[in-house]
Amino acid sequence: MPTHNNELRHQRNLHDTLLQVNHLLEKQKLVNALVRKQDTPRHELVQSLVAKQHLVELKHKLEQLHPADLAFVLESLPLDDRLKVWELIPVEKYGAILLESAEAVRDSLIANMERHQIIHVAEHLDSDEIADLMPALPKDTVFEILTQLDSQNREQVQSVMRFPEGTAGALMDFDMITVREDVNLDTVLRYLRRLGKIPHQTDQLFVVDRNSIIKGVLPLTELLIHAPDDSVHDVMRNEFISFYTDDSAHEISQAFERYDLISAPVINSHNQLVGCLGVDVVVDFIDATLQRERLNQAGLEEEEDLFAPVWKSGRNRWAWLALNLMTAFIASRIIGMFEDTIEKLVALATLMPIVASIGGNTGNQTVALVIRGLALKKINADNFLHFFFKEITISLMNGILWGSVVGVFALLLYQDIRLALVMMAAMILNLLIAALAGVFIPVGLSKCGRDPVMGSSVMLTALTDSMGFFIFLGLATIFLLPH
């Protein structure tokens, strides 16, 4: 409970900070407008002094904020105000803020930075952080940054950039502590004291030999509770969780959650230690994945700056709007095929949206389960048939139950038993189709190497709407109209 309260308090404080920044910006604009209207002998001097006064107040406020909070503030401001605030932030904080910012906002900030500023920012970042920023930097600047790095850092940056996005190699950090197994704990403690500080998220040291082959891990707790003259070999753990450079980040995030990991070594095919992963990086990956999935479900192809130009934001939404328009045309043509039926039985026009709507909701529930099962590797070839028949059985059960409810509703409204039975039959059939589509659409997309989140909901809704209309109106034409 205290942690939850602290989070709420932080969110309120962050919101209040954003309001204060907006207030100072608006205050500056208002005062500048009033000063410009006054015709005084020293008009320009007065305007300059007033502007500096408010900028000093705003700058003092920004200097007190954490880089992550500054990133939040910048993401919440229109482009002109964002750039004005960006210029007031010390250059030393630029790197940390860019790493915390959303990709779209980061691009807008880098686009307005001078070449020497970008190079200065890179000088204060670690190798893995530089690699994270590289895709957003101008190509000529990337070359200059690489040439200014020493051979070790340059090799580390290039190695991270060689790994595909979403792998351990692309996420790993090089800031870690290694020790040998043939030394005692007192030697390790003296070594740590000479370092003066340990990397963030360090809960264990990595034990390697002269060829950097990992032999085990030495948790800090074991280092502190054992006698100083104990050997690292006797205290270290030989069984530990490690990841290869090409392991999927999705699987890594699941392992971190399953085993409550804080850090883990990353090794190559020769079992040589090449980097490490910290829980902070994994949490950032999970958060970015969730945000991307939410955008994909809404039909947005990429993360969008809230204050991006209208043309760019509109273009980002075209693809799925076009697909929705096509599916809507298909549904309308299916309805058009039964115009005569609807004219003779007007009640059908009021009832058919119910069939389509329930089918869509049922299908989306199945899609959500399948996508989660695929992401967590819980659905596989061995259990697929069991899961499939379970979903079909649930849909059949729900179809009979809620089809009966809708049938009774139609009977009470229109006093027609045949219409009620058609409504019930259409509901059962459409829920079965929704279950089939809810299973096979995401599985099919996954088999084709596509993200099942992207498009599953749109394709499912199009299918259940079209088939719902077709089944209901088709059954009505067969059983309710005189032949």
Q: pLDDT tier at 248 (50, 70, 90 boundaries)? A: very high
Q: Which residues contact 36 (CB under 8 A, 6 or more apart)?
A: 43, 47
Q: How many residues does the chain have?
A: 483
Per-residue pLDDT, 234: 95
Where exactly are the structural domains of the chain?
Answer: 2-165, 178-298, 310-480
Q: Which of 144-148, 256-260, 343-347 has the highest mean pLDDT?
A: 256-260
Per-residue pLDDT, 446: 87
- Mean of pLDDT values over 225-252: 95
Q: Which of 294-298, 315-319, 398-402 has the highest mean pLDDT?
A: 398-402
What is the token pair recorded at 21? 């920044």
| Higher local confidence (pLDDT), 333 or 215 | 215
Q: Judge whether residue 9 has pLDDT over 70.
A: no
- Mean of pLDDT values over 93-115: 90
Q: pLDDT tier at 163 (50, 70, 90 boundaries)? A: very high
Per-residue pLDDT, 20: 84
- Mean of pLDDT values over 303-314: 71
Q: How far apart are alpha carbons 254 and 240 in whole angstroms?
A: 16
- Mean of pLDDT values over 152-176: 90
- Mean of pLDDT values over 452-468: 83
Per-residue pLDDT, 40: 55
Mean of the per-residue pLDDT values of the chain: 86
Q: Which fold has domain 178-298?
A: CBS-domain (3.10.580)
Q: Judge whether residue 6 has pLDDT over 60.
A: no
Q: pLDDT tier at 41 (50, 70, 90 boundaries)? A: low
CATH 3.30.43.10 corresponds to the domain 2-165: no
Per-residue pLDDT, 3: 47
List the Cα angle 18/22/25 in 5-degree steps. Answer: 140
Q: Judge whether residue 143 has pLDDT over 90.
A: no
Q: Which of 27-41, 288-302, 325-339, 387-401 has the highest mean pLDDT?
A: 387-401
* Maximum Cα interatomic distance, the chain, rounded to a whole number of Å: 98
Of 1.10.357.20, 3.90.1170.50, 3.10.180.10, 3.40.50.10140, the CATH number of 310-480 is: 1.10.357.20
Q: Judge whether residue 355 has pLDDT over 50.
A: yes
Per-residue pLDDT, 146: 86
* C-beta neighbour count of 319 within 10 angstroms: 13
Q: How far apart are alpha carbons 437 and 55 in whole angstroms?
A: 58
Q: pLDDT tier at 244 (50, 70, 90 boundaries)? A: very high
- Decide: 174 and 275 in contact? Cβ < 8 Å: yes
- Decide: 248 and 218 in contact? Cβ < 8 Å: no
pLDDT in tens, 202-221: 999 999 999 999 999 999 99
- The number of C-alpha atoms within 13 Å of 439 and in the hemisphere containing its C-beta is 19
pTM above 0.75, yes or no: no
Q: Which of 312-321, 341-350, 386-395 has the highest mean pLDDT?
A: 386-395
Q: pLDDT tier at 303 (50, 70, 90 boundaries)? A: low
Q: pLDDT tier at 182 (50, 70, 90 boundaries)? A: very high
Per-residue pLDDT, 52: 64
- Mean of pLDDT values over 321-349: 82
